[in-house]
Chains A and B, each alone.
Chain A
Amino acid sequence: MTTSSIITVENLKRHFVLDRGNFLTRRKPVNLHAVDGVTLDIQPGEAVGLVGESGCGKSTLARVLCRLIDSTSGRILFEGRDITDMSASAFAGSQMRSDIQMVFQDPTESLNPLFNVFDLIADPCRRLKPQKNRAALRAKVEAAAVSVNLPLEFLTRFPHQLSGGQKARVGIARAMVVDPRLLVLDEPTAALDVSVQATVLQLLGSLRRDKGVALLFVSHDLNVVRLLCSRIVVMYLGQVVESGPTDHLFHAPQHPYTHALLSAIPTLGSGARRDRIKLDGDPQSPVNPSADKCRFAGRCPLQQELCTRQAPVLSRTGSGREVRCHFPLAEPGAPK
């Protein structure tokens, strides 16, 4: 972590209280550990991919980072400044709100059907970056539309008149109009066809290159993340289990879960793969998880006795890599 980071989180937790418990009857509280001790930092202009299966806490982490919901514990630093104790509403009123913008998964649900595209894009600008006059606002909105390759005649249309790909662009334009330094994208292409997804991915690649905006790209599709991100963070049941530079992680995964995830991706023209690692069975529950065993135990193909009585910690394994495993996989060719 350096002070040049846009955002840094340390040991961040977000628990959802399902039952507060009762001290008198000794009923234990029931907490769902959606995000359970995540440390992460994002440098200016960097593209970080966040992957993991559904329910592992990706969206919750993204929302906490954007200060849309509060954390349970841990520290959040914005450009080195501790904003952990700043309330969500104080944050919403500050300059920082426009520096971190979020793009949601479902473009249909996140766009108000009563607004036309101009007003949809102008809305965050009016709230966060009021312009001197209408002409200045129009210029800002048009620049945002151009930056996402949305023809200007679309500005007068309504969401129901747009295709899925066009709606996704409007969602990104809404975020870009306030000149953010970090875009947090929660599965922005999950609902799109591959050919439309291709245009959105290209757009995000260009925005990063041309405007220097940093990306936190949340996805369950490692192939998509591979194209866009230089660093990948893999989550499992609320925790980071592995992180590292994209190439290294792809070619030599160290956590058995990352390995399984990679081997499960269908690949064009490969024919059915034989070396696939199957994860049969369901993951452990995120409700009151045991502190004394690995969260991947029970599904891990390489599990040993130690894994069921001691939880592994996240440790550095060199070259910007971290892994949370008692028995990480060796780099191919490296001595055991």
Chain B
Amino acid sequence: MSVPLLSVRDLTVDFATRDGTVHVLDGVNFELAAGETLGIVGESGSGKSVTAFAIMGILDHAARVLSGDIRFEGRDVRAMYPRERDLWRGKEASIIFQNPRTALNPIRSVGRQIADVVSRHTPGSSSEIRESVLGAMRQVRIPDPERRMSSYPFELSGGLCQRIGIAAALACHPRLLIADEPTTGLDVTTQAVIMDMIRDIARQGNLGTVLITHDLALASEYCDRILVMHAGHVVETAPVKDLFANPRHPYTYGLLNSVPSMVDSVHDLRAIPGSLPDLRRADLPPCRFAERCPRRIPACDAPGLTLKEAGPSHAVACRNPL
């Protein structure tokens, strides 16, 4: 049996806040193979970014990882020394953030920011580093990279800033790329260019990619498999085609019916009633969707809900699936 590129087992994360403990992630499980693109979808607040940050080891201080076995090519990432993990991040695994402008340092030229990443992981002479930076910028097709190197983020459009973010993330040729809403806030035409570029680079390098997005249509175009999250639980996972043709979880079904491109009139749209439960509650039910669910049955309130097989590579966490 081959070892997956990334495996996450039973990841549970809390945040300690002034208003109490926020139970953000509860037993998140998934695997990712090299060359595969996994989409993580779900409404805002469902824990997508926290999952990404927990894998990368960049959660803020209020976070407590209560459990979770995170393995990269079989190596236990959480058992790494901080220095080791810092080197792993950027070299072997990289993340692209949602807002390219705030993710970049506003007072450092973009070339230097890429050079910082390169020199941390592959020390070399300044001309070697310069060549790596130019190579990274060419890879993301930044026009006239010699000139752009000395630009500051505010001088570049949102699309160009995101390309710099991608160039920095890919400069050391990682094998895992996590893209957290990489095109949210960009125009659709720019989104298409950036997404095609990420896909092509991932294919060439056989990267494993996690694409986090709230846009189901985008995930359907670029992913092999999708993981649906709701309030810190993985509720369903399946290959893209199967998930859309045959959603089993009522939440997945609800999401699909609220996407404008799926229907022909506003009156055919179906919204999901209610909103995410307050994650500070001590009495969060076993199924965190139960209180919004049109298919709720008494069995839903029993403890011990887990992902169960619902077809080839299709799993669902529901007592009364469609």
Give the B-binding residues of A (Cβ under 8 A): 53-54, 163, 165, 193-199, 201-202, 204-205, 220-224, 226-228, 260-261, 263-273, 276, 278-282
Cα of A205 to Cα of B268 in the assembled complex, Å: 11
Chain B residues with Cβ below 8 Å from A222 are 188
A195→B196 contact, CB < 8 A: no
A266→B220 contact, CB < 8 A: yes
Contact flag A195-B254 (CB < 8 Å), given A223-B260, A267-B221, A272-B222: yes
A194→B214 contact, CB < 8 A: yes
A202→B271 contact, CB < 8 A: yes
B187→A196 contact, CB < 8 A: no
Query: In the complex, given contacts A196-B275, A202-B269, what are 16 additional A-B residue pairs having Cβ atoms less than 8 angstroms apart?
Result: A53-B189, A194-B216, A196-B271, A197-B258, A202-B266, A202-B267, A204-B266, A220-B187, A226-B260, A265-B188, A266-B191, A272-B221, A272-B222, A273-B221, A278-B189, A280-B141
Give the A-binding residues of B (Cβ under 8 A): 43-44, 141, 143, 157-160, 187-193, 196, 199, 214-218, 220-222, 240-241, 244-245, 254-267, 269-272, 275
Q: How far is the CB of B207 from chain A (nearest CB, A)?
A: 16
Q: How far is the CB of A164 from chain B (nearest CB, A)?
A: 8
B272→A195 contact, CB < 8 A: yes
Chain A residues with Cβ below 8 Å from B241 are 269
B261→A268 contact, CB < 8 A: yes
Which residue in chain A gives the minimum CB-CB distance to B272?
Answer: A195
Contact flag A282-B159 (CB < 8 Å), given A221-B260, A266-B221, A267-B217: yes
Could you list 5 examples of A-B contacts with CB < 8 Å? A201-B269, A265-B188, A268-B216, A268-B262, A279-B190
Cα of A304 to Cα of B259 in the assembled complex, Å: 38
Q: How far is the CB of A217 from chain B (nearest CB, A)?
A: 11
Contact flag A261-B160 (CB < 8 Å), given A163-B275, A193-B44, A272-B221: no
A282→B160 contact, CB < 8 A: yes
Chain A residues with Cβ below 8 Å from B191 are 264, 266
B266→A195 contact, CB < 8 A: no
Cα of A271 to Cα of B264 in the assembled complex, Å: 20
Cα of A197 to Cα of B263 in the assembled complex, Å: 14
Chain B residues with Cβ below 8 Å from A205 are 265-267
B188→A278 contact, CB < 8 A: no
Cα of A297 to Cα of B187 in the assembled complex, Å: 18
Cα of A215 to Cα of B245 in the assembled complex, Å: 35
